[in-house]
Amino acid sequence: MNTHLNRGIRELIDNSQNIILVAHIRPDGDCIGSVLGMGLSLISLGKQVQIVLRDGIPGSFRHLPGSELVTRKANTPYDLSIVLDSSDLSRIGGVLNGDMPGINIDHHITNLNFAKINFVDPQCVATAELLAKYMGEWGLAIDDRVAANLLNGIISDTIGFRTSNVTPSTLRLVAELMEKGAHLDDLYFRALVQRSFNAASLWGKGLSNIKKEGRLVYSTLSLKDRKQANYTGNDDADLINVLSSIEDFDISIIFVQQSAGRVKVSWRAKAGWNVSQIALQFGGGGHPAAAGVEIEGAMEDVMQKVLKATKAAHMQQGSILDISQEGMYPPLTDLGTD
């Protein structure tokens, strides 16, 4: 990575005393691990740090060191803002009131480079991996608490080192974080295995709604489903990763109703397929293997549009890969969600 960028980031940190760290709405393990890891390291330097996540921290990540420091809005003035793990400013939920951030640190290939300094490395499996690689060059130390958060981010975004972009370098970084005191077994279990009863109930709703069309598998979670499961989050409780494990399908999608007129869409793709450009068509983003977006509209209308776009992209990519897709998809039918 460009030494000029590293030098610029270090200078901004050295010359700032009041720093705000921000990341995306509906925070996942990489988002949370990144802001907490960097935040704790900045605090150890004597900086005044605000860690702001508009949606707070889900209960499943409140065991992480520093989680008690997170607030939902900025409470004091700051002289440096750092946005992590967010491909564009709309993803942070208005926390910075539209102001240009000082530093943008991310690994999403669809990042819009919206800050004064943009440190974006799509080769990293997680923003937490990027931090683990470069924090030393910014004058930031990694102790056992920071290491735990960064390892949590890597575990979460690679779904337990199962994504195709995991490299030997990634695993060497993991070993270094373990040597600094991070406990792989506990972090892995809490991030990927342990689920609340209500989350498991939500999975039941989603699995009962599962459908397939050609090489696509998808499901829905309506407001009614979440209410019946007594699930208070507005996400899918990582059900998308269950769908993506089903054999004989290239792409999996989950539609999560946020309100009567808004739907969250998440895609996952097997190796060789790219869903980030599909999400980009609807104003979202992500990675080739994992992407998402929120779309205005009724559930049925959003599903029709997204499935049509996904099938078109799948057909196009299949022809490039010399895979016959002829006659794969039946007409769209039976898209009810209640």
Q: How confident is the model at residue 318 (pLDDT cuts 50, 70, 90)?
A: confident
Alpha helices by DSSP H, listed for 106-218, are 127-134, 144-157, 168-179, 184-188, 197-208
pLDDT of residue 41: 98
The residue behind tokens 């974080």 is 177
Per-residue CA distances from 273 to 27, 96, 218, 317, 328 (Å)? 25, 35, 16, 7, 16
pLDDT digits (tens, 9 = 90+) for 279-290: 999 999 888 889
More confidently predicted of 181 and 289: 181
- Residue spans per domain, the chain: 3-193, 197-320
Cβ neighbours, 10 Å, residue 335: 16
The token pair at 156 is 């979460």
Contact partners, residue 79, CB within 8 Å, separation at least 6? 16, 17, 18, 19
Where is 315: in which H helix or E strand? helix 299-320
d(CA 171, CA 307): 36
pLDDT of residue 285: 86
Contact partners, residue 180, CB within 8 Å, separation at least 6? 142, 143, 144, 146, 147
The token pair at 273 is 């397929």
pLDDT of residue 3: 86
Entry pTM: 0.85
Q: What is the CATH architecture assignment of 3-193?
A: Alpha-Beta Complex (3.90)
- Is 219 in a helix, a strand, or coil? strand
The token pair at 247 is 């054999």
More confidently predicted of 110 and 66: 66
Query: What is the residue-averaged pLDDT of the chain?
Result: 93
**Terminal alpha carbon distance of the chain:** 49
Q: How confident is the model at residue 334 (pLDDT cuts 50, 70, 90)?
A: very low
Query: Residue 145: is its pLDDT beyond 80?
Result: yes
Q: In what order do the strands lie in the sheet with 290-296?
A: 211-213, 216-221, 251-259, 262-269, 290-296, 285-286
Q: Kindly report the CATH number that applies to the domain delimited by 197-320.
A: 3.10.310.30
The residue behind tokens 């996952």 is 268
